[in-house]
Structure 1
Amino acid sequence: MKTYIFSSLFFILTLVTTNHMTAQDVTNGKNNYVVLTKKVAQLQPIILTAEALKAEECDAFGDFQVIICGKEIGDITDPEKINTFIEKAEKAGVQLVACGFSLNKFKVDKTKVPSKMTTVENGILYNFQLQKKGYKSLSL
């Protein structure tokens, strides 16, 4: 009976410890962020937020990604609307990501997506995948 109790306790502690270690391994002690937005104009306050967090957190600041999706996704192909934000994002260490599902649904020419932007197949799924890795998430 004692052996059964100790074995069970050991097994439970092993599971809890392993889960805790996995979460730490994914984030590497850094604060990682992902923002899902539907409007290019919202990039201004998002990038300002990333800059403020980077200044506040210093070495604890990790990755910051912005996923753009929705019916206004075509705005990313307009240099007048997106180029300034691409430059600001680069300086702030923010990665801009385009939702491939939205590009397809709203028939946006993928060849016109700026080369400095990453495209993922499904922006919402990608957001959830980052959350599972420990990213703090916000949707606008």
Structure 2
Amino acid sequence: MHAGMGPYFGRANIDIATLAMVETAQAMENLEDIVSVPGLDGIYIGPADLSIGLALGLPGPELHPELAAAMERVRDACERHGKVAAVHQVPGIAPSALGAQGLGFVTSGSDVEFLRTGAVRAVQVARPEA
């Protein structure tokens, strides 16, 4: 099962980033402690869950000012500690716009979205009339 994995294990700690997710009000309260964890490469913001956790509802194409402020706090804490601030894409907001705000890692969609898109495409290929 592990045949050929030797090179991987030799580089894993170099090639793999370890990020802590911030998605709750409690995580925001403990942000400095979280970002200070040795070996942590950065913080990954889950904006939908964080928005819900802050009792702001789901984010839309315009970020709620409190959510935007929380994201800035994460970015600033990461900068102070030499870590990357990452964020999951917010529907209606271009990943490049989030990157321009100093978020160094922006995902461009969700696993569910990619799986759904791939499944739809597979059905279209298998059954063009569908």
- TM, length-normalised to structure 2: 0.50
Q: 1:110 to 1:92 in 2, by over 3 A?
A: same
- Shift of residue 26, structure 1, vs aligned partner: 2.6
Q: Does 2:18 correspond to 1:33?
A: yes
Asked if structure 1 preserves the Cα contact closer than 8 Å seen for 2:87 and 2:106, the reply is: yes
Partner SS for 2:7: helix
Partner SS for 1:97: strand
Asked if structure 1 preserves the Cα contact closer than 8 Å seen for 2:46 and 2:88, the reply is: yes
- Shift of residue 44, structure 1, vs aligned partner: 4.5
Percent identity at matched positions? 4
**1:93 corresponds to which residue?**
82
Asked if structure 1 preserves the Cα contact closer than 8 Å seen for 2:95 and 2:108, the reply is: no
**C-alpha distance in structure 2 between counterparts of 1:64 and 1:108, whole Å:** 22
Q: 1:79 to 1:67 in 2, by over 3 A?
A: closer
1:13-49 CA-to-partner distances (Å, cap 9, x unmatched) read: xx73521331331323x98422233347624424422
Q: 1:84 to 1:34 in 2, by over 3 A?
A: closer
User: Would you tell me which structure has more strand in proportion to its own residues?
Assistant: 1
User: Aligned AA for 1:116?
Assistant: G
- Shift of residue 112, structure 1, vs aligned partner: 5.9
**C-alpha distance in structure 2 between counterparts of 1:41 and 1:76, whole Å:** 19
The structure with the larger Rg is: 1
Any stretches of 5+ residues in structure 1 without a counterpart? 1-14, 55-60, 126-140
Q: Does 2:106 correspond to 1:119?
A: yes
- Shift of residue 79, structure 1, vs aligned partner: 5.2
Any stretches of 5+ residues in structure 2 without a counterpart? 52-58, 113-130
**1:50 corresponds to which residue?**
35
Asked if structure 1 preserves the Cα contact closer than 8 Å seen for 2:42 and 2:78, the reply is: no
Asked if structure 1 preserves the Cα contact closer than 8 Å seen for 2:95 and 2:106, the reply is: no
Give the count of matched residue pairs: 99
